[in-house]
Chain A
């Protein structure tokens, strides 16, 4: 079955960078894109961007342009790992970050989430 397993909790200082991973299995990776979404404590969701693993094309929300990078690592035939790197962290970047499978405007499975805390 489709599984998206994310990396663990991160604590970062303001100005640092964080890289979160999302290991996908159970489906044909090149057929489905991945979106990244975050949810600040007690708040709603914010779409950050999307990556197409077939061609590596990325589409970032304007708010994150220049500070965000999404990549893919297809290291085996049975799994692939997606990454999101956010730079120049601020306290308001504190949130749970999720990866979610989306293709042709259909959102499906989500990862379990990764808490990123930015604090001095």
Chain B
């Protein structure tokens, strides 16, 4: 059974840069894992940010970018703003099903 792991929490200063990562216990995360990233604010539905590891949706702010980095999927926020404080989830395709990471609570402080 695939387990997807993310940092439980990260803290970043306003204007700073932070990278969130997503790993799989089955091996390296690759483009064939079709990584998707989502942002969720308390009490709200998730909002899709990134698909296929690096591609942004039309509504995704330019400060968000996705990559594959050393066998992991990564989400980088550059020039962080206070409204970026939220929970972030990655999603990987593995063994014919989708598996979510446990989420990263991002604090902007």
Contacts and interface: CB of A to CB of B under 8 A. Distances in A.
B15 interface: no
Interface of B: 34, 36, 38, 45-48, 51-52, 55, 57, 89, 91, 93, 96-103
Contact of A44 (B34, B47, B89): B89
A46 interface: yes
Given A44-B103, A61-B97, A110 B45 contact: yes
B52 A44 contact: no
Given A44-B103, A46-B100, A110 B47 contact: yes
Contacts of B100: 37, 44-47
A37 B38 CA distance: 13
Given A44-B103, A45-B100, A61-B97, A109 B89 contact: no
A44 B99 CA distance: 10
A64 B99 CA distance: 14
A59 B98 CA distance: 11
A105 B103 contact: no
Chain A interface residue number, banded:
20 to 34
29 contacts: A35-B98, A37-B100, A44-B89, A44-B100, A44-B101, A44-B103, A45-B46, A45-B91, A47-B97, A47-B98, A59-B96, A61-B97, A62-B97, A100-B46, A105-B34, A105-B36, A106-B34, A106-B51, A107-B36, A107-B48, A107-B51, A107-B91, A108-B48, A108-B57, A109-B48, A110-B45, A110-B47, A110-B48, A112-B45
A105 B89 CA distance: 16
A110 B93 CA distance: 18
Contacts of B47: 110
Nearest to A62: B97
B45 A111 contact: yes
Interface in A61-120: 61-62, 98, 100, 105-113
A38 B54 CA distance: 25
